[in-house]
Amino acid sequence: MDGWISLALPGAVAYASSLLGDREQGEDIVQDCVCRLLARAARYDLPRDGRKLLFRAITNACINRQTRARKTVSLDEHGRQPDGGAWGVEDVAATPPLAMALAEELRVAIGQGLQTLPLRQRSVLELSSLGWGAEEIGHLLDLQAENVRVILFRARKAMAAFLNARFPGGVTR
């Protein structure tokens, strides 16, 4: 399979998973988007532009999925028991240990903080952190670059507030 996919895929899954707040859905979206891109390989220079096209497709797909009117209910939720077990099976091995290392604690907090942001803010902040410029993000999200900067400013501010509330004394870094 194309090398550009291997290079772009882990970051793409992380990005999509963060936008959707769910790793499984994130992988699903990314796999779908890669397949769609490959189906149109003749129209693009994928080794050169594949990563950018993929992130663009993912962003649109995630926004579409998140803003879709109908709310779906997963089988897990459908069968969830009063004690919290999904059909009596729960991945307790994935439960973070009580004595979580600080780095892990911070990572979790960042993930949670991102989930508190509106989807557009989250997308802008994450794309910016990945090196996208305001113009590129604006083109992707159909926004003026200035609006992108405003959204980015708000996102940074909200995240800083979230993290400072979570770690009142800051953290050792």
Exposure string for 20-50, b = 16+ CB within 10 A, e = fewer? bbeeebbbbbbeebbeebeeeeeeeebeeeb
Nearest to 18 by CA among 149, 143, 121, 144: 121
Nearest to 141 by CA among 125, 160, 120: 120
Q: How many CB atoms lie within 10 A of CB 171?
A: 12
Per CB under 8 A, the segment of 24-32, 47-55, 56-64, 138-146 that binds other proteins is 24-32
| Out of 43, 67, 69, 72, the residue judged to bind other proteins by CB under 8 A | 72
Q: Please, what is the minimum distance in Å from the beta carbon of residue 100 to other proteins?
A: 14
Does position 148 bind other proteins by CB under 8 A? no
The interface with other proteins within residues 80-99 (CB under 8 A) comprises 86-94
Distance in angstroms (rounded) separating the CA atoms of residues 71 and 68:
8
Per CB under 8 A, the segment of 27-35, 46-54, 56-64, 135-143 that binds other proteins is 27-35
User: What x-and-dash track marks residues 113-142 binding other proteins by CB under 8 A?
Assistant: -x----------xx-xxx------------
| Out of 6, 42, 67, 99, the residue judged to bind other proteins by CB under 8 A | 6
Q: What is the CA radius of gyration of the chain?
A: 18
Does position 157 bind other proteins by CB under 8 A? yes
| Out of 64, 116, 144, 164, the residue judged to bind other proteins by CB under 8 A | 164
